[in-house]
Structure 1
Amino acid sequence: MASSRSPADRPGLDGVAERRFDMFVIGDVGIEVRATLPDIRFADVHADRLTYAPARAIVAGTAVNLARCATRYFRRVGVLGKVGDDDFTPAIRRELLRIGADDHLRVEPGVPNGVSVMLRDRPAPAAGAGAGKGVRLLVVQEEPPGRRLTAAEVRSAAAGIEAADVLVTDGYSLLSPVSGEALRTAARIARDAGTRVAFDLVPHDADARLPAEEIVPMLALADLVISEAPTLARLLGSAASAHGAHGVRELLPVLDRAVPGRPLWLLRFGDTSLEHALAYRRDGLLMEYPTGYGAGVERAGFGDRLAAAELYWWLSGGASASGAADVAPRSA
């Protein structure tokens, strides 16, 4: 059932007055062009088309997107990613400075920065699942610099990982053997230092890109896993539908069998896999709550706002039975 102590309620999605805890984020960093097409549906385009719509280029990527939200909750946020060496590089570094994040970027000389294009079309007019959000087309530059972040570069940033209360990582790094090993190295450094490890299972079709045996070991290294419930169901071969609350609960014993330990699972579900969440820990927490996403709420960036609030809630003891803080913030 829903709880007034859910992270969407407290601390909420708008940040906190007193920032606590230190976060270290490893992920993609680059440039993204975003546009929403208010008068076009992809299904209706059969020829070349010109349209004028809100469009902008921003510094983005999984690490920057989360850090931008996390600086409203966390006392310190460090960002480690591999970037290129071109005219965008100073802009990327200025953006980290602007949002108040610590720059741990590694630069690969002589290569361009990664660029992505995100287009969202006009929502379908019919009511029902999928209505109201439009379809997203995300085009990502093949083999951006982040895929070449090395284990040695992670080890060179070990002090930042060890000093943090939580290391946050994501599944895009697993798409390359090089950055995948870097990610596992970071998780082991964190665990040895007593730093919590959080893992966001993206892309949402990770199950179609990687076999379970390449993803489950990372899940086993994590203290907290964020995922759309259907992604995990497909990955683990579960028959659970994992779209409604009942289907998500059917998935829980599958998680217990597949992944050792007692990670905290934050499972997204609903019509668009973002409206509801279920927090679950083996032999412990079982809490379902609305995320606050719905009609009239901007989808771009919402997942990062929610994740930042959930991570702060977790470290503050929101996932414990007593409500006592799970982590004592490390000294600055």
Structure 2
Amino acid sequence: MSHRNAPLTETGRLRLARCVVEDGWPLRRAAERFQVSPTTAQRWADRYRRLGEAGMADRSSRPRTSPGRTPTRTERRIIKVRLLRRWGPARIAHFLHLVPSTVHRVLTRYRLARLSHLDRTTGRVVRRYERDRPGELVHVDIKKLGNIPDGGGHRIHGRARGGRNSSAHRDPARPRAVHGRPNLGYSYLHTAVDDHSRLAYSEIHADEKKETATAFWQRAHAFFTQAGISIERVLTDNGSCYRSRDWRDALAAAGIAHKRTRPYRPQTNGKVERFNRTLLDEWAYARPYRSEAERRQAFPQWLHTYNHHRGHTALKGQPPASRVPNLTGQYS
């Protein structure tokens, strides 16, 4: 295939060369006829004399030698550090006393995957997938968060004062401190995320018992049904609440298949795990809250923004609601 700016195709080069070599045209006349410079006409004519028609084909623009290229030994060291330590170009460059741009070029040349595309535990490339339709698979998980004391914790007052504030505002009904550390209890975020649309339903509860998880799922199922999504399968981890008879019966009554992840493989439930990370960055730790109640009050609005207005990179910048036409209030 010719270069996009090449004035001649292989056929045009052959015609030009034959006009000069076989028909005896002057170089300037042939150059004017084919709208190229005399130098170009001379080059194709000479190549035709030496190689015939085969000389009219494109050649690689790669130089015969590259004296400025990174030595092979250095490239091997870069690749070795990347595979063993899974560092980015900047850290590898500092470790090997190189320039980050040089390390980046080597990693790109050998097509080593980005760190964001690798499984953190095994270092293998993560095979991304997406179900073809809403409801084909829904990911369910529970995220545990420490409660914020009244008046704010260490994010507002600092570590030392924040710890004293936690002790001063400890609820007498909660368990006492262990080894001098205050125990304010935890919140448990029960979440369901549709694989295809990334539409999420989430609630905050005080525990992760089977009764709580089952009741949450029934409300989540109603939410997806109202949005026009018929759920076929649910994927969870191997938590005790998801292995209970209550959970099994709730799914069976609705005709929904239950699938569990392999032990110690949370990336299998990656859609909801990624949602949890976004939730921490953009809601739970997004600003210094002065109480647990204040943080919980901000949650419904954040969840609405996530579903209806926040662009999702996996959806080409569109929110999850863009893939669920029947979702009520998506244009509010």
What is the TM-score of this pair, normalised by structure 1?
0.27
Q: Does 1 or 2 have the higher relative contact order (CA < 8 Å, sep 6+)? A: 1
Kindly indicate which of the two structures has a greater share of residues assigned to helix.
2
Identify the structure with the greater strand proportion. Answer: 1
